Amino acid sequence: MKIIQEIIKEIEKVVKGKREKIKIILATFFANGHTLIEDIPGVGKTTIAKTIAKVLGLQFKRIQFTADMLPSDIIGVNYFDVKSKEFVFKKGPIFTEILLADEINRASPKAQSALLEAMEERQVSIDGVTYKLPEHFFVIATQNPIEHGIYPLPLSQIDRFATSLSIGYPSRESEKLILKREEVKLNSFRDAVVEYKKRQKNIFVDNKIYEMLLDIAEVSRSGMFEIGLSTRGVISLLEISKSWAMMNEREFVIDEDVVEVLGYVINHRLKDNEAAKKILNSIY
């Protein structure tokens, strides 16, 4: 069995009946993207993030976003050390490998903005000094559906998420397994992380796939949607398609890879859950 299939099977020991969602999150990680999960409370958003971190053998931290949160609560702060008589930087929880930004839309836009540089450039700047984040820095953010006391994510924030998804309710059989609460021992696959990230970069993309991506971008900007797909969004679609091909044990991208991941890449950007169908119908 290929290692990637072993990783998925290991995660499924805890996260029941959600194989495609697990694959999308892993595909996003291997493509060096970030993912946004929008769903109601209690369907396993935190569990899936913690389990993926444990199986991949990566450091995990969780930030509970609140209305009174400040950027320094995320990034960290400079403070004056009396003993050394100089300012010292105390790192915030963003300095981790897998970061669960829980209920991100409960924080103000000012606090949310603390993630912008980190998600795009994998670094943070404070008082003119830049600090690098870990190589495998990966944000899994959760967002509440529209309700009282939330701040909609600005477009600049939304566009930095390569993919978005909903976990949804488990099937009856999966929920029965969850209710049994059986203890499972999870194996770690940290050694495979670097290998699969390198493999993802080397996935071959034929010119017809590039043309397909450009067709998708063109249709999205034709007036069908309020705002079309950004160039960053097209790059995300390319990279997630490469990851999807790799996870399906191919060395090249095919049309079906793009079609299968399209909705996960564009729906949060185009504000339309039927966006993928509309675009594909226009192209084909």
Please say whether the beta carbons of 104 and 65 come within 8 A.
Answer: yes
Instruction: Please tell me the distance from the alpha carbon of residue 222 to that of residue 226, in angstroms, as a whole number.
Output: 10
Q: Where are the alpha helices (DSSP H) in the chain?
A: 3-11, 19-30, 45-56, 71-75, 109-112, 116-121, 155-158, 172-180, 190-201, 207-219, 231-247, 255-270, 275-283
Structural domains of the chain, with CATH = 3-190 (3.40.50.300), 202-283 (1.10.8.80)
Cβ-proximal residues to 254 (8 Å cutoff; 6+ apart), any chain: 209, 245
Q: Calculate the alpha carbon distances from 47 to 64, 100, 114, 250 in Å.
A: 14, 10, 24, 30
Q: Calculate the alpha carbon distances from 50 to 34, 45, 56, 228 in Å.
A: 15, 9, 10, 34
Per-residue pLDDT of the chain (284 residues; tens, 9 = 90+): 488 999 999 999 888 888 999 999 999 999 999 999 987 777 778 889 999 999 999 999 999 999 899 999 999 988 877 777 777 888 999 999 999 999 998 888 888 888 999 999 999 988 888 999 999 999 999 987 766 557 888 888 999 999 999 887 877 887 787 787 777 788 889 999 999 999 999 999 999 999 999 999 999 999 899 899 999 999 999 999 999 999 999 999 999 999 999 999 999 999 888 899 999 999 88
pTM for the full predicted model: 0.93
Please say whether the beta carbons of 192 and 7 come within 8 A.
Answer: yes
